[in-house]
Each structure stands twice: as structure tokens, then as C-alpha cells.
Amino acid sequence: MDRELRRRMAAEVQAERERLLPLRAEATRTTIALVRQNTEQPPELVPYLNLAFLLGVRRTQGPDAVLAFALSLANWAVATVDEVARYTGRTAEQVVDQYETDIMAAHAEPEED
């Protein structure tokens, strides 16, 4: 990536961050609500529950709220991986590799009818 492209991308990211900043508090509340609602659910239901939640956010709050929510959720995911790594004595890369392996194995298994 050339220097000019990096500069333009950084400027775009900064502009979007500033634009979405007023939505940060609501996005954090939305993230907490999703995590509280969908943890301890059967793993096979979680993707459907998450999608229903996202569709509800988009329908009631609009596409910018979904983007702010996605950013909040991504920040939470990174922080959580870092914490799991610290508490388990593994690197963040090892934690991500384990989740990736688990997900790939789950998708490789034939679904039951």
C-alpha cells in the first residue's frame, strides 16, 4: 500500500470515528444487551439470535447504529481475547487459533436433521 493510499485511509477512518462518536454510549449499551441476552444459549442458536438482534438494531436505530455496534463489539472481542490469553497463560494468537480450529471443526461436522 502506497503512502498516499495509507494517508487517505487513515483520514477516512478518523472522519468515520468522529462521525460515529456520538453513538458510542448507545453502542456500548447495545453490546452489553446482546452479550447478556445471548450468552449461555445453545451454541447452535447463537448465530441466529445474534443476527436477529442485529436486524432489530438496524430496523430501530438505523445503519449507522449497526456500524457503531459492530465497532463496539469488535473492541469487546479483542479485549476479551487478550483477557483470556492473560488468564490462561497463552498468547492472543493461540486463543484465536483455538477458536478458529473449533469453528472449522464444527462446520466440518455433518448437521443433524
Residue 113 lies in a domain: no
The mean pLDDT of 63-88, rounded to a whole number, is 95
Which candidate, 46, 68, 42, 71, places its Cα nearest to that of 57? 68
pLDDT in tens, 47-65: 899 999 999 999 999 999 9
pTM to 2 decimals?
Answer: 0.77
What is the span of the domain harbouring residue 11?
3-108
Q: Which band of pLDDT confidence, cut at 50, 70 and 90, is reported for residue 103?
A: confident
- Is residue 76 in some structural domain? yes
SS3 content of the chain, % helix, strand, coil (to 5): 85, 0, 15
Number of domains in the chain: 1
Nearest of 110, 102, 26, 98 to residue 67 by alpha carbon: 26
Rounded CA gap, 73 and 27, in Å? 8
